[in-house]
Structure 1
Amino acid sequence: MSTLIRMTTLAAAVFFVGAASAGSPPEEVGRVVSIPRNGEVVERAPAEIEMRFSTRLRLRGHLIRIFDADRRVRASGQPVATKEFTRLHMPVFGYLQQGRYTVEWSAATAGGEALAGSFTFVVRTTAGR
């Protein structure tokens, strides 16, 4: 299977993950689950982005970037996989105001496969972070 087909399949899975899990506890649907979930409205800016994968990841070689509605990078980092190699965590340093954000990410599997996708979330208020 070509990388383009895998990336397209993964992007569709990310979309359906958010649609299927909105308003419910995180469940794995497809290959990846994000916290915040795709399309989720959060009361305040998240302190971190978490991604859960159904496949093992390499220790390093991952990227997560958060863009505001004007496509300005508001947070960026190279998260390291957790000890079970199926999760990525990236602290969100910086101030995310009210508004819609897009998270773009890339990850490398233990088998060398390149994965990439994106999801959105909305920050309802800036109070109490």
Structure 2
Amino acid sequence: MTGETDLRTLLGEMRPELNPGRYAFTMAEGGVPSGVSPVVTVAEPEGLTLVVSQADADAAGMGYDYVAGWITLRVHSALDAVGLTAAVARALADEGLSCNVVAGFHHDHLFVRYDQAERAMETLRRLADSAR
């Protein structure tokens, strides 16, 4: 189950996939509310950050300021791979696109402003094409 470490391979085979839906970054006081299924949780000293579907956040009455599209890089990247996050962030930044990255065991996940998700996908496809 060893992930890929070669940067050129990672970029050329990243196969970005835009997951359906809108995702809200929110805070949970006292744990995850009933009926909410987070796709990401991050425990910080200030509280529990959740990334949840916007529908879940709305139904639970959770406040949020940022709604994102969720892009999964389908290449199985090693957790100790060097340069993938930097290359992706640089390509998106060059297009004026913000990006929040979360590394899972198998894949990297990017959260970009929802209204810019298609532009981000185009940028990532160009980056992959240039690495092949």
Q: Where is the strand percentage greater, Structure 1 or Structure 2? A: 1
TM (normalized to structure 2)? 0.35
For the pair shown, the structure with the greater C-alpha radius of gyration is: 2
Q: Of the two structures, which has the highest relative contact order with CA contacts closer than 8 Å and spacing of 6 or more?
A: 2
TM (normalized to structure 1)? 0.35
Q: Where is the helix percentage greater, Structure 1 or Structure 2? A: 2
